[in-house]
A and B are shown apart, each in its own frame.
Chain A
């Protein structure tokens, strides 16, 4: 299937611009911390960029943890078929 036959949303050019727009949005969101007044409940959550890095780091952590757990607990999906 040629590029032109694909739905416009999945053409490489659109995907390229989606990535660009997404990264720009992320940058703007981090910079927004300069302009908002933080209501910190505990100290660290009022620091610059806290919500951004916390979201990124905990998510990467959860994916890696799941991956590691999967090594031990994953089985073929026909595992229970003969029970």
Chain B
């Protein structure tokens, strides 16, 4: 076995279990070292298929190394490194074990060249991410984790059934591009989409991500949805239905984020919004669109983690999470504020940030494919991103009214993690060619034309203007907004409760009626036979019993002759 035959994801997956066995200092070394080791392995594996094996009649390919898998694995291991740095103060070691196993599962999934190993890594991710949520340890978090786990088990089951049907239909385990035109492939697509937080099951994301710890959310934001984007990119490029699903996700994310009061739920809804851009791009399916999706996934992981790290820092330092309780924090948390703003500008695709050079490729591909409706929707959505994440998040957390809170910036490692990712956001914006060189297809796109920069600035500044014009309408209230999870948190339990209550009532009535009848029968028999002359209370002499035994024995003897 050579080095190329070692799946890179296994370093983090197995390394995670070393973390609780060593002391604090050695643990810090492992937390920072394991992701770097993974990154080194990723970049030393050439293009090709490795770690081939067969189980029964099925071919497994644990390492399919090509530009697309390398790109996703790279950003996943960078994420594990910076996330680990940010989480060094996390006292619950279980969270880090789970987060590293989760990252390892994600890297394993993007390297999987066949459906079976993909499914295995997919389920490892589901279990590990649930453990990240569970490690919070409160009663509330147990319920949230179970809801999260149920949704992902449903997705996993759909995927498994789809995979088995697809293998049966096609006779091959290989994970290649498909069309959703058979029951098997449709089920696979549904399984993928559940992890991408597509409708109707989108609510699991905002429900769960806002309940993890300050550092847990940062890990959660990166892997599940982006692995889903990767498998959609690999499995269903150009599937037209994804355009409509993606556009729905984009606007769902914006509208719900606008209504939200919890700062991390705002950012969670904006993940759905950003994944919507990627899903739309996969549906468009041209080389430029797919390049744009891959670039946007890379950029998104970095700036979304940055935004959640700044929100996590606020949570860590103040213990507060609602916009109604926050405000004015820029005065005492300058670094957190500036890093949060850089993340907010990047997600809004401001020129000189990473979002600008990635998202505009998706928009341009819609124009090139002559999809006018899609192009206008994406443009409106770009304005909407600035509205709900670009301004709303920093404004309500760091500015608006003065909450009187004066927490200092978080500890050095958390600051360093935020500064590193801020640097990546701006670096990618200034030198996009490094990211473009890693994309699966050759890039001919030039983001920095005078027209494009000016047009984007006009769009963004006027949506900012709209925000401040509409500010009285955006006043935060102590509310939540009902989402699809209402069905499985409220209405289904109620329906079940009522249904079972009815079943129990019917059951009770039937039993009672039966008991009454039984009683009556007994009474009837007793009535008929009571008294000294009744059948059951008569006395029989012993002699008659002996006579009957003799008769039985005689019959037995007689029958034994007929053998």
Please pick, from A32, A39, A75, A80, the residue contacting B458 in the complex, using a CB distance under 8 A.
Answer: A32
- CB pair B478 A52 closer than 8 Å: no
Please pick, from A6, A56, A70, A75, the residue contacting B466 in the complex, using a CB distance under 8 A.
Answer: A56
A67-B473, A74-B259 known; A36 vs B465 contact (CB < 8 Å):
no
A67 closest partner in B (C-beta):
B473
CB distance from B393 to the nearest CB of A (A): 15
- CB pair A52 B462 closer than 8 Å: yes
Q: Mark B479-493, 1 if CB is under 8 A from A, else 0.
A: 111110000011001
- CB pair B470 A77 closer than 8 Å: no
- Give the chain B neighbours of A60 by CB distance below 8 A: 466, 469-470
- CB pair A39 B479 closer than 8 Å: no
Within 8 A of A (CB), among B313-339: 322, 328, 330-331
Q: In this assembly, does B150 line the interface, its C-beta being within 8 Å of a C-beta of chain A?
A: no
Main secondary structure, interface of A, reads helix
Among the interface residues A6, A52, A55, A62, which one has the most CB atoms of the partner chain B within 10 A? Answer: A55
Q: In this assembly, does B457 line the interface, its C-beta being within 8 Å of a C-beta of chain A?
A: yes
- Give the chain B neighbours of A62 by CB distance below 8 A: 251, 254-255, 258, 380, 384, 387
- Give the chain B neighbours of A59 by CB distance below 8 A: 383-384, 387, 462-463, 466-467, 470
- Give the chain A neighbours of B468 by CB distance below 8 A: 22
- CB pair A74 B481 closer than 8 Å: yes
How many Å lie between the Cα of A35 and that of B386 in the bound state?
A: 25
- CB pair B480 A74 closer than 8 Å: yes
How many Å lie between the Cα of A29 and that of B387 in the bound state?
A: 18
Within 8 A of A (CB), among B97-137: none
How many Å lie between the Cα of A7 and that of B507 in the bound state?
A: 71
A29-B454, A63-B474 known; A51 vs B259 contact (CB < 8 Å):
no
- Give the chain B neighbours of A7 by CB distance below 8 A: 330-331
Among the interface residues B143, B458, B459, B490, which one has the most CB atoms of the partner chain A within 10 A? Answer: B458
A58 closest partner in B (C-beta):
B380
- CB pair B482 A73 closer than 8 Å: yes
Please pick, from B328, B387, B458, B469, the residue contacting A51 in the complex, using a CB distance under 8 A.
Answer: B458
Please pick, from A39, A53, A75, the residue contacting B482 in the complex, using a CB distance under 8 A.
Answer: A75
- CB pair B451 A38 closer than 8 Å: yes
How many Å lie between the Cα of A74 and that of B476 in the bound state?
A: 12
- Give the chain A neighbours of B477 by CB distance below 8 A: 74
How many Å lie between the Cα of A56 and that of B479 in the bound state?
A: 27
Q: In this assembly, does B379 line the interface, its C-beta being within 8 Å of a C-beta of chain A?
A: yes
CB distance from B447 to the nearest CB of A (A): 13
How many Å lie between the Cα of A83 and that of B80 in the bound state?
A: 35
A interface bracket (residues with beta carbon within 8 Å of B): 35 or more
Within 8 A of B (CB), among A1-43: 6-7, 9-10, 22, 25-26, 29-30, 32-33, 36-39, 41-42
- Give the chain A neighbours of B262 by CB distance below 8 A: 77
A9-B330, A58-B380 known; A63 vs B473 contact (CB < 8 Å):
yes
- CB pair B462 A26 closer than 8 Å: yes
How many Å lie between the Cα of A7 and that of B479 in the bound state?
A: 30
- Give the chain B neighbours of A56 by CB distance below 8 A: 462-463, 465-466
How many Å lie between the Cα of A14 and that of B477 in the bound state?
A: 27
Q: In this assembly, does B455 line the interface, its C-beta being within 8 Å of a C-beta of chain A?
A: yes
CB distance from A29 to the nearest CB of B (A): 5
Q: Mark B129-154, 1 if CB is under 8 A from A, else 0.
A: 00000000000000100000000000
A10-B402, A60-B466, A63-B470 known; A25 vs B461 contact (CB < 8 Å):
yes
Residues of B within 8 A of A (CB): 143, 251, 254-255, 258-259, 261-262, 322, 328, 330-331, 367-368, 372, 375, 379-380, 383-384, 387, 399, 402, 449-451, 454-463, 465-470, 473-474, 477-483, 489-490, 493
Residues of A within 8 A of B (CB): 6-7, 9-10, 22, 25-26, 29-30, 32-33, 36-39, 41-42, 45, 49, 51-56, 58-60, 62-67, 69-70, 73-77, 79-80, 83
**20 extra interchain contacts, Cβ-Cβ under 8 A, other than A10-B399, A32-B454?**
A22-B465, A29-B454, A29-B458, A30-B458, A36-B451, A42-B372, A51-B455, A52-B459, A56-B462, A59-B470, A60-B466, A62-B251, A62-B384, A62-B387, A64-B473, A65-B255, A73-B482, A74-B477, A74-B482, A80-B490
5 A-B residue contacts at CB 8 Å? A29-B458, A59-B462, A59-B466, A75-B479, A77-B480
